[in-house]
Amino acid sequence: MHKNKDGIYIYNEDAYLGIKKACEIASKTLDMIGQFIEPGVTTEQLDKTCHDFILAHNSVPATLGYRGYPKSCCISLNHVVCHGIPSKKKLKNGDILNIDVTCILDGWYGDTSRMFTVGDIGLKSKRLIEITHNALILAIKNVAPGKTFGDLGAEIQEYVEGNKMSVVRDFCGHGIGSEFHQAPNVLHYGAYHSGPKLESGMCFTIEPMVNTGRPETKILNDNWTAVTRDKSLSAQFEHTVFVKKEGCEVLTRSHNNTFFPEGAKLRRDSV
C-alpha cells in the first residue's frame, strides 16, 4: 500500500481482504444486536453484548480506550448526533438509536453504524431514518474512480436539504484501513467537482448525520456526547466502502437485512 498525492492510502489486494474481514465482524455485530433492542434494556447492556460478540470473533472493539473513550461501541439516542456513551439509561417505546461499531482484526479496521427503533416510532422519526439511509445509498452509488469527494458530499446535501432536513457539518466520514481515522475527511456536504479525486484502492467511510431541525451540534460535559443544539432528532448510517476499478464494494453490508425500520415504505435495500 502507498499514499497518493493527496496523502490518501491506496490499498492492495491483501489489505482489501484484511479490511473486508474486519468489516464483516462489524456488520455482523449490528445484525446480531437487533434482537436485543426492546423497552427497558440499558444501552450499557447492549454495549456488553456487542463487546462479547466482537471478542468471540477474535476481534477488538476499536473505540474501547480510543482517546479515552470508555466503551466498545457508540449508542446515540434520539437527539444525540453521535458518540453517545452506553450507560444505565433504559430504552423506551418510541426511541430511535444509532449503534456504531468499529472492529480491529489482524490490524485492519472496519467501521459501520445503523439506526434501530424501539416499539412504535413516530412518522417524523421514520421519515428521518429513511431520508438518512437514502442519503448514504445515494452517495455510495456515486463512488467510482474519477468522481471527487465533493461530489459525494454535494449529493447528500442536495437530497437531505431537498427533504427539508439538515446535514451535520461538525463530524465527517474518514479514510480507514490500517488505522481508524485516516485522510481524507469525507464531508457530507459541499460542492460538486471539489476535493480530492477517488481512485481504485481507496477505502473510506460515508456516515451522514441528518437532523430534523438545524445542523448545529454541541458536546456535553462528558466530552464525547454530541447533541443537536435545538434538541431536534438526529439519525445516522455508516458504511465502509472500497473503491474498485468500476464503482465500489460496500464492505459492511448487512448479512440478514434486519436493520431497516419496520414498516418503512422503502424497499429493504441489500446494503
* Alpha-carbon span 108 to 242, nearest angstrom: 13
Residues linked to residue 100 through DSSP beta bridges, in sequence order = 74, 113
Tell which one of 27, 43, 63, 232 touches ligand MF3 (CB under 6 A).
Answer: 63
* Alpha-carbon span 229 to 98, nearest angstrom: 18
Q: How far is CA 35 from CA 13, 19, 31, 77, in A?
A: 35, 26, 8, 17
Residue 206 is a binding residue for Co ion (CB under 5 A):
no
Give the sign of the dihedral formed by CA 195, CA 200, CA 201, CA 205: positive
Give the sign of the dihedral formed by CA 261, CA 116, CA 202, CA 190: positive
Residue 98 is a binding residue for Co ion (CB under 5 A):
no
Tell which one of 100, 130, 151, 155 touches Co ion (CB under 5 A).
Answer: 100
Q: Choose among ligand MF3, Co ion, none what residue 192 binds, the Cβ cut-off being 5 to 8 Å by kind.
A: none
The interface with Co ion within residues 216-245 (CB under 5 A) comprises 238
Instruction: Choose one: 15-23, 141-149, 204-212, 228-236; the region binding Co ion (CB under 5 A).
Output: 204-212
Tell which one of 111, 130, 151, 155 touches ligand MF3 (CB under 6 A).
Answer: 111
Instruction: Choose one: 65-73, 133-141, 147-155, 243-251; the region binding ligand MF3 (CB under 6 A).
Output: 65-73
The owner of cell 466498545 is 72
Q: Choose among Co ion, ligand MF3, none what residue 182 binds, the Cβ cut-off being 5 to 8 Å by kind.
A: none
